[in-house]
Each structure stands twice: as structure tokens, then as C-alpha cells.
A and B are shown apart, each in its own frame.
Chain A
Amino acid sequence: MGGRNSDKALGAAIASGLILASMSDTAMPTPTPPAAHKPSLPDLFVAFAAISVCGFGGVLAWSRRMLVEERKWMTAEEFNDAYALCQFLPGPNVVNLSVVFGRRIRGLPGAGVALVGLIGPPFVIVTLIGLLYARFGEIAALQRMLLGVAAAAVGLVLGTCAKMALPLLKDRFAIAPLIALATFVAVGVLRWPIYAALAVLIPLSIALAWARR
């Protein structure tokens, strides 16, 4: 991890950077050599499909492993930058990452192929599961298993959330945790429509971040 200032400059990358750092200590020869050759479209498709079908509980860890460690298409730095960008953009992060990365390598076809590689296989899998669920979802044993998995999934999301929140709590400035808390209460507890809550909270949060830059 860099010093305090570089962490700050990374902004949204704080959280992702920490999560990445916590996953990256294994098998990372530093510095990673730059891309040796430009991946072809089939290469891109296979890599993103592999990321997708390996990624249980989220694909971030696998995308890093594949792009940086196995294929060496990006350096760790490049990956962190690209991911920070994609986390800043709304919507699914790694889906955005596939588009940004695919475009850099092979333009529009690259973006399309990486995207379809990432989304295609789970789309097929989950549609089949949806079909089975529609038929067998009421079976009691399956219901109990799904309840267990749901509880674990909630736990996993909380674990990720805690990793993201930790740097905020270390900050002496208490505003960021208060903004996070207000967002949680408005959207999670009071169940306000997300649009109304964010129309107030996003400008407020950015203004406060700007004021203490």
C-alpha cells in the first residue's frame, strides 16, 4: 500500500485497493512485466469466460488473478487503476472492466467479446437454474438449503462491506461514516426509493469531500 496521501488521491480506489491488496500477496512477481503480446479476440473471450465461471461469490478476485497473474495482460498498477475507474462508474464493476479492457485491446469488437465472455456463461447457467427453481423451488429440503446459502451470502456481503468501511473509520474526519450510515438507514431501514435518497446524499457527500480536499 502507498502512503496516506496516495491512498487519498485514489479516492474510490481506497476500498477496492485494500481488498485487492489483501488478496494479492500470493504469487505476485513484482514488477509484473508489461503485456508481451496483444491478446486476440478468442483469447479475450476465453479469459473472461474463465473469470466468470470460476468466480463464486463475485468475480473481482478472479479477474485480477487472470489478467494480472496468469495472462500478464496488465500490471498490478494498471489493474488497480482500471478497477478504480470501473468502481466509480455506476453498474456492475467487473462488467464495466471487461468493456474498458476489451476496448483498450481490440476496440469495439474487443469490448463486445470480453463482455459476452463474462456475461454469457452465467446467463445460461442462471437461466437453467431459474427454470429448475420455477419447477422445484417449493421443495422443503431445497428451501432449507437456499435459506442457509442466503444467510451465508448476506455474511459475505457484510464481510466485503467491512473491508471497504475500515479505512473510513480510521479517518479522523467523521463525516464519511455518517454519510454511509445515513445511506444505510434511508435505503436499507426506511426503504426509501434509492433515487430520492441519493439525489440528496450524493451531492452532499461530494461537496463535503470537495470542501476538505
Chain B
Amino acid sequence: MGAAMKEGCGTLLSLAAHFALMSLVAIGGANSAVPEMHRLVVEVERWMTDQQFTDMFAIAQATPGPNVIIVTLIGYHVAGLAGALVTTAAMCGPTCLLAFFVGDAWERFKDAPWRAAIQRGLVPISIGLIAASAFVVASVAAHNFVAISLVLTAALVSYATRLNPLWIFVAAALVGLAGLH
């Protein structure tokens, strides 16, 4: 009993440390950290399978709310409600503090050339990370012709139209139900 509790606390601490650190390199949004989340929870800690991670990515994207909510699902899977609270707080806490204390100071340097250089330098990094997160999930999700067609269709529709993503998800779930194995 005591040992199990100790292990539970260890898991929570590990979740807190990993996700707090991860939040600081999520350049361009929570999705930028998806490859690192995958590396941590599937490859290093083996807290879940590739398939389960992909499911959680899908649920987080299709659930209303900010995409960061994937960390809540991961935390819940690993350590229940406490885990969900810990990962969510760890992923949002440090950068919220940063936003609270640094936000307006940073605004004052709006026209400084060094600020422009930092911002310009980070744009390609965040694009590369977001593409990487799509790739990591696609290596499980885009496993056959139908799935690949779904990926491309959704990409095209979201790029070219302003259709509410909800309808894309509904259509994709129906296609999946009918014909994905």
C-alpha cells in the first residue's frame, strides 16, 4: 500500500516535471509539443500504445476547447483525475505566469529590431514542429488508402474553406465507421 502510494506520487511528480518543461518548448502552440509528448509517453515511459496516443490526439482535436486539452487525456490515462489535473496545470502554469508577468513588458519592445528577429526566427521552428506533430500521428493514423485520402481531403477543406471543423470530424468518423480497419 505504502509502496503503491509512493509510486503514484512518483508518477505525478514525473508528469508534472515533464509537462512543465515541455510547455516551455511548445513554440507556436500546444500542438508543437505533440512529438515530444509521444516520445515521452509511448517510447520512453511506455505509459500507452501508439494506438492509444493516436486516439487521444483525435479526441483532443475533436473536443471543443484549446488543443492543449490532449495533456488532460494523457494525464487521466496515466494517473486518473489527479494525473489530469497535474498535466493540465503543468502544461499551462509556467507559460501563463510568463504571459502574466512578461506579456506587457514585451509589448513595450514592439518595435525593437531584436524582438522582430526573435519572432521571425521562431516562425519556421513552429511550422517545422507542427508538421512534425502531424507526421508523428500520421504514421499510425494514415495507415491505408482510405485514411490517407481522409488526411488529404481534410487538409484541403480546412485550407481552402472556412467550414466548421466539427463537420469535417463528423464526416471522418462516419467514413471511419464504414470503411477503416
- Residues of A at under 8 Å CB distance from B? 8-15, 22-23, 52-59, 81, 84-97, 99-100, 103-104, 108, 111, 115, 118-119, 121-123, 125-127, 129-131, 133-134, 137, 141, 143-165, 168, 176-177, 179-184, 187-189, 191, 193-195, 198, 201-202, 205-210, 213
Contacts and interface: CB of A to CB of B under 8 A. Distances in A.
B168 A99 contact: no
B8 interface: no
Interface string B92-130: 101110111011101100110111111111111111111
B121 A153 contact: no
Interface of B: 21-31, 33, 35-36, 39, 43, 52, 54-55, 57-69, 72-73, 76-77, 81, 84, 88, 91-92, 94-96, 98-100, 102-104, 106-107, 110-111, 113-138, 140-143, 147-148, 150-159, 162, 164-166, 168-169, 171-177, 180-181
B39 A191 contact: yes
Contacts of B84: 123, 126-127, 130
A147 B64 contact: no
Main DSSP-derived SS at the B contact region: helix
B136 A152 contact: no
Most chain B Cβ neighbours within 10 Å, of A59, A87, A91, A188: A91
Nearest to B116: A11
